[in-house]
Amino acid sequence: MLLQLSAAFDLQQDVVPWLAERLSAEAAAPVTGQRAGLDPVENNYETLHVVNVERNGKVIYSCKDSKRNVFFGLYDLQTKKNEHLFTFEKDLQVVSCSVNREKTLLAVSFIQSAKERRNELQPASNCLTLLVEIHPVNNVKVLKAVDSCIWVQFLYPIDERNPFPESHLLLISEEKYIEQFHIQVFREDENRVLIRNSGHLPRDRVVEDFVWAQWDMSEQRLYYFVLKKSESILKCIQFYADENFNLIFEVPLEISFGDTGLMLVNFGCEDSQNREMLSKDLNLRVFTSHTGSLCVCYNKKSDAQEQVTYSVFYLHKGYSKTFAAEVGTLEYQSMKNITFLNLDYYVAVYLPGRFFHLLNTQHPDLMCHSLFLTGENEKMNLIPDGPLQSLSGALAWDWCSGKLFRVNFNQTSLLHFLQNSPLDYERLAVLHCVLAWGRNPKVLEVQIIQWIFENMWTCHAFDPIQEFLIASLYWKFCLDISNMDKLLPHSSLRSWNTEIPGVTSVAEEILLPLMKVQSFKGYWEKLNSNLECVKYAKPHLQYNNIVVRREWRNLISEEKKGKRRSTMYFRNILENAVKVISNLEAWTVEPRLALLFQEEDNQQRLLMGLMVSELKEHLLRNLPVQFIGKKKIEQLVLDYVSKMLDLLCQMLETSWRKHNLHSWVFHFDGCGSAGEFAVFHTMTQILDSVNRMCLPLPPGFHTLYMTLGVRCLPLHSLLRYIDDRVLLLTEKGVMKLLKDLDNTEKNEKLKFSIVARLPPFIMQKISQLWDHPVNSHIISRNYVKRLLQKHKRQSRNSTMDKSSFLIEFLPLNYLIEVLTELETARQALNPFEGCDSVDTKFVEEAALKQTTILLNL
């Protein structure tokens, strides 16, 4: 199972034992005064069911005893305790029930039984709504006595600083209006809480002429649809502790209600009796997340068919998608069982045994970031098989079994699926899901890295290293600060054109919600920010490394030419790199197996510092610094780049352990083992992935890579890697190579080939330290090359005294004559700083010595 349903409440386990114990206690006690519970006759609990789940995690349930008296109890999810609320000594069919936060008032609506309504002299109403004082049990006030059904719901203030002495109660009528009652109470004798002015309770008409409503108990919001001409308009009201209520937004949506009648969602738990009162031909849910997303999920029932069609309106993105899933032939009854579950960053849409779709609501633009499973697939099986009623706070109610579940992703199953799926679009979707919901990040990152190494060459539609780096950083850093998720990339992919078997989608633009208030707080501030970004977003809003790549190449080119910009500019960049490395070292607890961060690696430090500088400037330019703070943004940038390097280090560490290189010795002598060869190829893939995104590598990476290349590759392959600039020569690596290898013919050939390819800035240092004929040959060759490049040869007659040359070797004599003439005509700059002994005579001696070596003379 990809979803993990853990029972937070079970009627049979959490309530029945307590009721049985209570029955036994009451059977032995004398009956005096007001009844406190059930009749002391054995109860079969067939009538036991949940009627509501309140915001603070308290479950209200009801039960009838053998005399049909209705008992109301309360179970606290936090304390795991039951308590009795009230008992009606009459047979009632409960429609709805709610208790206020202080547990002093109970609101109940019920349908009277046929026996109660047979009164020829005084006809009784079909539905009664009562307000009961229960602390202690005292007065009962009739709020409504009508023939239509009424649902009740107490408001629970999110700000609970002053919850007493007023309660607010919503009454939802089947006649399509909603009222709010304001109930003031006072405390008498410190034990009795009574309603003040119970004869006249102030009330407001909140909504009129609505056709559908959904209650969000966690955030105290009311979503509802009204029909205006030919349009269906979704509206939302937010209830506050210190205010009355506000209409927050409205938006027209293409949803057909037809003659479905009144529809209510999450106003109590739906039992078999109440479900018959509400139309179920239309399946409609509104879901939000703390990141400011707002989705409307919609499924219209139709006759039996081979496709299930449903729509998701991504209101925070400005478009909708209509999905069609292939499920085979279905009966009408099966079509009713489609379930929508809110999972914060995701919405799950499933039909047991047929399909399971996990829609990424944070980034729904590419289908590969959502998981689509159809057909007979064990991964889509859920517990239970029936539909679940999605509640706020990652809770789901199964009215068939009487269980309340906490819904989470099953990380073990997700990782298993990631490891075994051969399909790229499934891998992408599951990878993002694991990173978004992963627990124990260090362990999770190691498991994903292991999967990457095993599937590095089997992913064709995306680069797993790139996607892991970008997605990990996104899900770790981009959701805590408003708008950060729009400024930093969430994926390495720009587009996805591959079809996904079993499902198709059609996208359409929709109108953005019209916000009806001026000031926003909390979730509404984030939603409004999302809407503003959709309205005014520009292509360059999301950060990329194009500027960093261009600037980095310019700096390297200038450095090779001996040019440098202002000292202050370089100092700031290098200080950024120092901060990143210090930040990363502070995270490191255990010593690293791979030899990293043991040298300067100026190029990587430049790239690191440039990325910090550009990313910081990008965020400061697009984030509200006055609210977030410049220091917080600077620290976030350092953490972002540090975490990137940390992930790259973890890749090397994991590869090191996988191939048993725990005690690997850093030297060039000898041939590489099979493990070293495998690590070298892993580093090649990491290098290629990182270079294409122009991301920095940990200092020391290239030296380590060079060492493994020398040990594992034949000379011609090694030189090809160097010439193609895949393998970069570093000062530390070359110095160690010259020191570790002796001067055998094979090693001298390797040394000559390596040194001949050194960049000038490294050659200047190596030439002074390596006293060898090969070195003299290279110095001479480079001296001649530089000298001839800087001077154009002019026509002349040779006037030199050839008798000065001791050996008659015409090609060499002619070259020496030209060089001497150039030196005489104008003083050539020495290409090797500090090597004053290099001149034409030095070149002549080096050439003759090298010739004798090659001819074995």
The pLDDT tens digits of the residues spanning 281-316 come to 788 999 999 999 999 999 877 665 778 899 999 999
Assess whether pLDDT exceeds 80 at residue 656. Answer: yes
556-635-553 Cα angle (round to 5) = 10
Residues of the chain above pLDDT 90, percent = 45
Instruction: Tell me the average pLDDT across 618-632.
Output: 88
Q: What is the pLDDT of residue 293?
A: 94
Residue 40 has pLDDT above 60, yes or no: no
CA–CA dist 445, 651 (Å, integer): 9
The CA–CA distances, whole Å, from 351 to 266, 340, 386, 524, 691 equal 20, 9, 9, 32, 44
Residue 727 reports pLDDT greater than 60: yes
d(CA 325, CA 369): 17
Please tell me the pTM assigned to this model.
0.85
Give the residues across from 134 on adjacent strands.
137
Q: Which residues pair with 321 in a beta bridge?
A: 312, 507
Residue 852: the pLDDT is 63
The contacts of residue 844 (CB under 8 Å, 6+ apart) are: 812, 816
Chain length of the chain = 857
- Higher-pLDDT residue of 690 and 486 is 690
Domain boundaries, the chain: 547-770, 771-857
Residue 392 and residue 406 in contact, taking contact as beta carbons nearer than 8 Å: no
Report the pLDDT value the prediction gives residue 772, as an integer from 0 to 100.
61
Say whether the peptide bond before residue 489 is cis (omega within 30 degrees of 0).
no
Structure-model confidence comparison of residues 737 and 558, the more confident one: 737
Q: Which tokens is 64 given?
A: 């009838």
Average pLDDT over residues 733-759: 84
Q: How confident is the model at residue 795 (pLDDT cuts 50, 70, 90)?
A: very low
Mean per-residue pLDDT, 358-376: 91
User: Mean pLDDT over residues 613-619, rounded?
Assistant: 93
3-state secondary structure (DSSP) of residue 298: strand
Residue 638 is predicted with a pLDDT of: 96
725 Cα distance to chain centroid: 35
How confident is the model at residue 75, as a pLDDT? 96
Q: Which residue has the tokens 């070259």?
A: 815
Query: In 282-410, which residue ranges form alpha helices assigned H by DSSP?
Result: 332-335
Once rounded to an integer, what is the mean pLDDT over residues 359-370?
Answer: 94
The alpha carbon of 272 is separated from its chain's Cα centroid by a whole number of angstroms, namely: 38
Question: What Å distances lie between residue 544 and 404, 541, 658, 693, 802, CA to CA?
Answer: 45, 9, 33, 9, 64
Q: Give the C-alpha separation, 53 to 405, whole Å.
A: 12
Backbone angles phi, psi at 321, to 5 degrees: -130, 130
pLDDT band at 628 (very low <50, low <70, confident <90, very high): confident
From 194-208, 371-385, 797-811, the region with the lowest mean pLDDT: 797-811
Can you give the pLDDT at residue 559?
73
- Position 563 pLDDT exceeds 80: no
Question: pLDDT tens across 565-578, in order?
Answer: 777 888 899 999 99
Residues 227-277: tens digit of each pLDDT: 988 899 999 999 987 668 999 999 999 998 877 678 899 998 764 444 544
pLDDT in tens, 589-604: 777 888 888 888 888 9
Angle at 216 between CA 211 and CA 217, to 5 degrees: 130
Average the pLDDT over 490-504 and give the result: 90
For 466, the enclosing helix (H) or strand (E) is: helix 464-477
> What Rg, from alpha-carbon coordinates, does the chain have?
38
Q: What is the overall mean pLDDT for the chain? A: 83
> What number of other Cβ atoms are within 10 A of residue 52's Cβ?
25
Return d(Cα 119, Cα 498) in angstroms, integer.
70
Q: How confident is the model at residue 688 (pLDDT cuts 50, 70, 90)?
A: very high
Tell me, rounded to whole angstroms, the distance of Cα 117 from its chain centroid. Answer: 57
- Residue 643 · residue 473 · CB < 8 Å: yes
Residue 333 has pLDDT above 60, yes or no: no
